[in-house]
């Protein structure tokens, strides 16, 4: 049996602790971080062509392409809540987080890789949809589609707080 000096054991334990904290660190994201770089410019150009008058027949830019390195990471991102599911008492359970106000009721909606489907472990009182929020939790690459929109990401939400 090899005996290591206490200082080496302590140093190794310290390094393991630092690594564990680094793995639990919350990464703050911007919306374009969710989209592959080559696609971001194409989407921004397409967004500049949208007719916001309501008279045009806009073509939606759609993409389910994701950034693989984000899968399973603990992240924080700001956005607006679009309620999807409530419990029997009207508390929020599931929702889309969108990059700008009115994104899912506006035509066309953002691409799927610019929406996050949030799932709360415990329902919370309904939020004001006009307010911006910080959403924090584990980001996952997972397609979700319903009658409101489609998303390429989901989040197991640990925190939803005012921006």
For the segment 35-50, what is each residue's pLDDT rounded down to a tens digit? 999 988 887 777 666 5
Per the model's pLDDT, the better-predicted residue between 153 and 62 turns out to be: 153
Span 100-106, average pLDDT: 74
Whether 38 maps to a domain, the answer reads yes
Whether 3 maps to a domain, the answer reads no
On the question of pLDDT at 8 being above 80, the answer is no
Span 93-116, average pLDDT: 86
Whether 146 maps to a domain, the answer reads yes
Whether 84 maps to a domain, the answer reads yes
pLDDT for 109: 77
Contacts 24+ apart (CB under 8 A), 88-94: 89/123, 90/126, 91/123, 91/124, 91/125, 91/126, 92/120, 92/123, 92/124, 92/125, 92/126, 92/127, 93/119, 93/120, 93/123, 94/118, 94/119, 94/120
- Overall number of domains in the chain: 1
pLDDT for 40: 82
pLDDT for 56: 56
Q: Which residues pair with 162 in a beta bridge?
A: 133
Whether 71 maps to a domain, the answer reads yes
Span 74-83, average pLDDT: 97
Whether 127 maps to a domain, the answer reads yes
Average pLDDT, the chain: 83
Span 159-163, average pLDDT: 97
On the question of pLDDT at 51 being above 70, the answer is no
Q: Indicate yes or no: pTM above 0.75.
A: yes
Per cent of the chain over pLDDT 70 is 74
- CATH number of the domain residue 135 falls in: 2.40.50.870
Whether 9 maps to a domain, the answer reads no
Q: Which domain holds residue 101?
A: 26-162
Whether 13 maps to a domain, the answer reads no
- Could you tell me which of 64, 63, 102 has the C-alpha nearest to residue 82? 102
């Amino acid at each position: 049996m090899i005996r290591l000096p206490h200082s080496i054991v302590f140093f190794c334990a310290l390094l393991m602790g630092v690594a564990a904290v680094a793995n639990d660190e919350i990464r703050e994201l911007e919306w374009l971080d969710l989209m592959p770089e080559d696609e971001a410019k194409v989407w921004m150009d397409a967004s500049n062509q949208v007719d916001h008058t309501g008279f045009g027949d806009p073509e939606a830019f759609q993409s389910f392409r994701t950034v693989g390195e984000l899968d399973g990471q603990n992240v924080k991102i700001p956005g607006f809540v679009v309620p999807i599911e409530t419990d029997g008492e009207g508390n929020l359970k599931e929702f889309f987080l969108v990059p700008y106000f009115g994104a899912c009721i506006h035509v066309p909606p953002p691409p799927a890789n610019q929406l996050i489907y949030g799932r709360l472990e415990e329902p919370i009182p309904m939020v004001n949809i006009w307010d911006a929020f910080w959403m924090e939790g584990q980001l996952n690459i997972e397609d979700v589609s319903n009658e409101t929109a489609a998303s390429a990401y989901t989040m197991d939400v640990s925190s939803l707080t005012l921006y």
